[in-house]
Amino acid sequence: MQGTVRLMQGNQACAHAAIAAGCTFFAGYPITPSSEIAEELARLLPRMGGKFIQMEDEIAAMAACIGASIGGHKVLTATSGPGFSLKQENLGFAVYTEIPCVVVNVMRGGPSTGLPTSPAQGDVMQARWGTHGDHPMVVLAPASVREIYDLTIQAFNLSELCRTPVILLYDEVIGHMREKTEVPDPSQFKIIDRKQSTSSPDAYLPYKSDEDDVPAFVRFGEGYRYHITGLAHDERGFPTQNPRVVEAKQRRLHRKVEQRREEIVAHEAFLLDDAEIAIFAYGVTARSARAAIRTARKEGIRVGLFRPISLWPFPDLELEKLAGQVKAIVVAEMNLGQLIYEVDRVVHGQTRIVAYQKASGEPVHPEEILTAVREHR
Amino acid sequence: MFDYEQYFRREMMPHIWCKGCGNGVILKALLRAIHRLDLSKDQIAMVSGIGCSSRLTGYVDCNTLHTTHGRALAFATGLKLARPEVTVIVITGDGDGLAIGGNHLIHAARRNIDLTCLLFNNQIYGMTGGQVSPTTPEELFSTTSPYGNIEAHFDPCRLVEGAGGTFVARGTAFRTIPLEKLIAEGIQHKGFSFIEILSTCPEIHGRRNKLGTPAEMLQALAKTTLPTGVLRKTSAPEYTEVCEGIIARAQGRG
């Protein structure tokens, strides 16, 4: 089946894709520039028999999502910088208790209230490390309206597959931009649901995993009476301070994401085959990079784009290969240095790294990237 | 003799509460209320926050969720909305429910969502070692009010009434039979039910303020000048039912 072509806004695409992915619950709190996701789902979810609730604050919205996911729903919340900060504690609860949920953070200028209606890419490290304690995190970064659609579905799938929160991270421009978008037909994508327990209630151990490192789920109220706690817990879900049990759980949490690296890690390579300079960029910055590359190519500069689609886990292996091939990597970000440190770690001196950083609340212009490329050819 | 064991998780015993703590008395009243209503353990979910009272969820053999500090009502709101057929009981304390979680309390009451919230008020942060709470009486000592509490305490029942709670009651850990009845009535009430339960913390709060033995502290609860029993009972549309109505309307059925 063919998809349908529509003029869509990024945030709107996120809402529609959530429904397509099987989302039946949204809890949120108004915040620019993400509110369109809540507004759209307030309208769409009841039609599908789903539930929408505007909570009293960002913390409660995250909490309500986790509660509903424990009740068996696929859940979404959407926010921006200040709200994302507030959600962090409960986000960690979802990681530790292994409750699937998808969180959208439409990045605006910060810190603090910052620039509510302007784009930024300053939450990359917060998305990875915002909640306290040691934990894995899956973060996906779309760069177009269509990609928001696809990665929203992917975010739900990965969250269900790994039983861990997945963050969809994009900037204000991507969220508010309208593009001609081919909305795929449901036959064009797969839907993953969390693994259900096949054991009897008596034998059920809520945190015992199989070889795939993911425990089987049973929603509350099905006769499998069990305990969920944010305290360190054993396979029964009961609190423990046993060092062996605590460490085993910690390692499994990381392993369940690491062992699915091939399913999670994604990047786009654009004109990299013969490139002597690579631009590393994501989100709206990658779109400017693409424009810069087209102009540079006309000038005879062999330049291409490496665009990480999964920011976390980071596409280490893929970028490392590139490092041996180009004489410079221009890292363009709308912050004063975040993912560049990850690039630096992977490149490990194999090639020159050039920073193009902007934190004015304006997107990076193609001309600016072009200038950086010309200087380092 | 009531068989409490049928509701306990034996593997979680012994519990963490100090000798003489009021929490055990309240837990037993809760279990008797559940029994009185003939509720199946499978259909009950208990959701709690952080603190001594919130540890209760670990001990009861039903669907239990021990969440983050202050947020039990917000988690419970999501769970109840997701599974309206499950009976959701929220366990919280004066620090958890009135300080860090105060915002969720007023909004759960405003929405009139069918949760039963038991607030164990022992006037102190016990688990963290005895810091002043929003219900610590004026001039009492705590680790963070070493010269006596200088802040006014407030009345949680009046707060919930003001926020629109449709069932508001106050019981004590001393009068356990009336407490059991209040809890049962709260669970049966359609809409948000709030029951403040005056309790005691003899080990941490009592010793520091020379409030007497555990028994004397419990007896003192009986002499409270605060009104007890059902303080407000009224009916209003229940949130999850209203949501179902919205779905019907959106689908062109309503």
For CATH 3.40.50.920, the residue range(s) in chain A are: 267-375
* Domain-located, residue B244: yes
Question: Which of residues 53 through 112 in chain A touch B, CB cutoff 8 A?
Answer: 53, 55-57, 59-61, 63-73, 75, 89-90, 93
pLDDT tens digits, A221-230: 999 999 999 9
> In this complex, which of B71, B82, B106 lies closest to A51 when CB atoms are compared?
B82
pLDDT tens digits, A30-75: 999 999 999 999 999 999 999 999 999 999 999 999 999 999 999 9
pLDDT tens digits, B193-248: 999 999 999 999 999 999 999 999 999 999 999 999 999 999 999 999 999 999 99
Does residue A200 have a pLDDT over 90? yes
For B241, the token pair is 């039912």
> In this complex, which of B12, B79, B243 lies closest to A67 when CB atoms are compared?
B79
Q: Which domain holds residue B146?
A: 22-250
DSSP conformational letter for A221? T
Site of tokens 């970000």: A333
| Cβ neighbours of A72 in B, within 8 Å | 82-83
pLDDT interval class at A376 (50, 70, 90): confident
Put simply, whether B13 touches A (Cβ < 8 Å) is no
For CATH 3.40.50.970, the residue range(s) in chain A are: 4-188
Q: CB pairs below 8 Å between A and B: how many?
A: 140
| Cβ neighbours of B75 in A, within 8 Å | 63-64, 66-67, 70
* Residue contact B66–A227, C-beta within 8 A: yes
Taking CB atoms within 8 Å and a gap of at least 24, the contacts of B210-215 are B213/B20, B214/B19, B214/B20, B214/B21, B215/B20
CA distance to partner chain A, nearest, from residue B43 (Å): 5
Q: Quick one: average pLDDT of A162-168?
A: 98
Q: Quick one: average pLDDT of A300-323?
A: 97
Rounded Cα–Cα distance for residues A62 and A82 (Å): 13
Return the residue of A nearest to B48 by Cα: A229
Does residue A333 have a pLDDT over 80? yes
CA distance to partner chain A, nearest, from residue B79 (Å): 4
For B112, the token pair is 């009139």
Fold for the domain defined by A267-375: Rossmann fold (3.40.50)
Rounded Cα–Cα distance for residues B234 and B218 (Å): 31
* Residue contact B71–A55, C-beta within 8 A: no
The CA angle B190-B113-B251, to the nearest 5 degrees, is 100
pLDDT at res. B1: 87
Site of tokens 């998809």: A3
CA distance to partner chain A, nearest, from residue B102 (Å): 11
Name the β-bridge partners of B48: B66, B91
* Residue contact A64–B58, C-beta within 8 A: no
Return the residue of A nearest to B240 by Cα: A51
CATH number, domain containing residue B55: 3.40.50.970
> In this complex, which of A25, A47, A93 lies closest to B82 when CB atoms are compared?
A25
* Residue contact A221–B75, C-beta within 8 A: no
Does residue B167 have a pLDDT over 90? yes
pLDDT interval class at A2 (50, 70, 90): confident
ipTM of the complex as predicted: 0.98
Site of tokens 């004066």: B94
CA distance to partner chain A, nearest, from residue B221 (Å): 32
Does residue A357 have a pLDDT over 80? yes
* Domain-located, residue B115: yes
| Cβ neighbours of B12 in A, within 8 Å | 238
Tell me, letter by letter, the H, E, C secondary structure of chain B: CCCHHHHECHHHCCCCCCCCCCHHHHHHHHHHHHHHCCCCHHHEEEEECCCCHHHHHHHECCEEEECCCCCHHHHHHHHHHHCCCCEEEEEEEHHHHHHHCHHHHHHHHHHCCCEEEEEEECCEECCCCCEECCCCCCCCCECCECCCCCCCCCCHHHHHHHCCCCEEEEEECCCHHHHHHHHHHHHHCCCCEEEEEECCCHHHHHHHHCCCCHHHHHHHHHCCCCCCEEEEECCCCCHHHHHHHHHHHHCCCC
* Residue contact A68–B81, C-beta within 8 A: yes
pLDDT tens digits, B4-25: 999 999 999 999 999 999 999 9
* Residue contact A67–B47, C-beta within 8 A: yes
pLDDT interval class at B43 (50, 70, 90): very high
* Residue contact B251–A225, C-beta within 8 A: no
Average confidence score pLDDT of chain A:
97
pLDDT at res. B254: 72
* Residue contact A236–B11, C-beta within 8 A: yes
* Residue contact A60–B104, C-beta within 8 A: yes
For A366, the token pair is 């193609």
> In this complex, which of A64, A70, A223 lies closest to B74 when CB atoms are compared?
A64
Phi-psi map region of A320: left, alpha, beta (phi>0 left; psi -120 to 50 alpha): alpha
Question: Count of CB atoms within 10 A of residue A286's CB?
Answer: 26
| Cβ neighbours of A230 in B, within 8 Å | 66-68
The number of distinct structural domains making up chain B is 1
Does residue A155 sit in helix, strand or coil?
A: helix
Put simply, whether B168 touches A (Cβ < 8 Å) is no
> In this complex, which of A50, A59, A229 lies closest to B74 when CB atoms are compared?
A59
Q: Quick one: average pLDDT of B120-144?
A: 98
Rounded Cα–Cα distance for residues A119 and A106 (Å): 9
| Cβ neighbours of B47 in A, within 8 Å | 67
Question: Which of residues 32 through 91 in chain B touch A, CB cutoff 8 A?
Answer: 41-43, 45, 47, 57-58, 61-68, 71, 74-83, 85-86
Q: Quick one: average pLDDT of A76-98?
A: 98
pLDDT at res. B92: 98
For B65, the token pair is 């969720």
Fold for the domain defined by A4-188: Rossmann fold (3.40.50)
Does residue B127 have a pLDDT over 80? yes
Tell me, letter by letter, the H, E, C secondary structure of A287-343: HHHHHHHHHHHHCCCCEEEEEECEEECCCHHHHHHHHCCCCEEEEEECCCCCHHHHH
Taken in order A56, A59, A61, A64, is the CA torsion positive or negative? Answer: negative
Q: Quick one: average pLDDT of B80-108?
A: 98
* Domain-located, residue B47: yes
